[in-house]
Amino acid sequence: MTAFDDNRVRVRVQAKPDVRLSVIDAGPRQAGPVLLFVQGAGGHALQWVNQLQHFSQRRRCIAPDLRGHGLSDKPRNGYTVDSVTEDLVAVLDQLDIHEPVVLLAHSAGGLLGINFAYRFPERLTKLILLNTAAQLPLNRWMRLGLRTPSMLMVLVRPFLQRRGRFNAPPHIFKKFVEKSVGRWQGWDLLPKITTPALVIAGQRDWYVRPSLSRRTAHGMPRARIEIIRAAGHQSPLERPAAVNRAVERFLETGLRSWRSGVDESHAVTHERPWLDQYEKGVPAEITIPDKPLHYFLEESARRWPDQTALLYR
């Protein structure tokens, strides 16, 4: 038995061929807007377990295993962003949820959240994006996975499952990444999304850097950004209490965090006053380098041979 087993229902999202999703449906039925939780690629609904336990005490919470993931059906096709977004709409329709919902989406699920907000704005009251951006990078590990034969990925799947990172068959995971993460970008959609939005970033997110999440928030006219300290890419699992507080504040008021009652740029400058000395255009944060420092120094020396550079090993 796992958490919320008694709250799972099977929901048909497609008739031909028949496709049914396993959906967690928990919480009181008449208590404010429904919360719809959307996982990332390779994940499952229980990656939201800390949020489900917290919010289902007072609100109805819906968390599907996406098609191809977890306990849901695993058809051959239907893994584009548009198709999986339409699955989410079908889940709401089949559960007779017709009032606008709050959609919370993590990582690759954020692509679905952005697409949902653009295509079905009348179905949303608020949008919360976690550890995601309007376009996700294909890092070297993802590229390696796409090139790795599915039979070989089967061998490492049990190890990844124990770490909570692989809850889809390898060939399904590859399809989902190829047809969604690898192809879709929604930068042009952001200015058209008028739903109030909160973008939550992990300060130490190695995959979706806070700068990408910040760019996503700034692209939407009614969005704000909140950085979770000491959190990586799995902030709902790594810092559940901090995430829950940020979500709770946004649900109740939509106002900024108590940490920064002013514009974020002023808050950052207040914490790090030396930033005022930077020249215009110099970013306050940069991504963590993935190569040794001497590599960048040597590259700089080659590109700008007339400038002084310190080389060391």
Residue 287 domain-assigned (yes or no): no
Residue 284 domain-assigned (yes or no): no
Using alpha carbons, select from 52, 124, 111 the residue that is nearest to residue 85: 111
pLDDT at 174: 79
Report the alpha-carbon distance of residue 189 to residue 219 in Å, rounded.
Answer: 9
Residue 218 domain-assigned (yes or no): yes
Q: What is the residue range of 153's domain?
A: 5-277
Residue 303 domain-assigned (yes or no): no
Residue 167 domain-assigned (yes or no): yes
The pLDDT tens digits of the residues spanning 19-53 come to 999 999 999 998 789 999 999 988 999 999 999 99
Is residue 130 scored above 50 in pLDDT?
yes
pLDDT at 162: 47
Q: Look up the CATH number of the domain holding residue 161.
A: 3.40.50.1820
H/E element, 265: helix 264-271
Pairing label, strands 61-64, 35-38:
parallel
DSSP-assigned beta bridge partners for residue 198: 128, 224
Residue 300 domain-assigned (yes or no): no
Tell me how many domains the chain contains: 1
* Confidence band for 149, pLDDT divided at 50, 70 and 90: low
Residue 81 domain-assigned (yes or no): yes
Report the alpha-carbon distance of residue 175 to residue 183 in Å, rounded.
Answer: 11
Residue 241 domain-assigned (yes or no): yes
Mean pLDDT over all residues of the chain?
84
Given strand 197-202, what is the order of strands in its sheet?
A: 8-14, 19-26, 61-64, 35-38, 101-106, 124-130, 197-202, 223-228
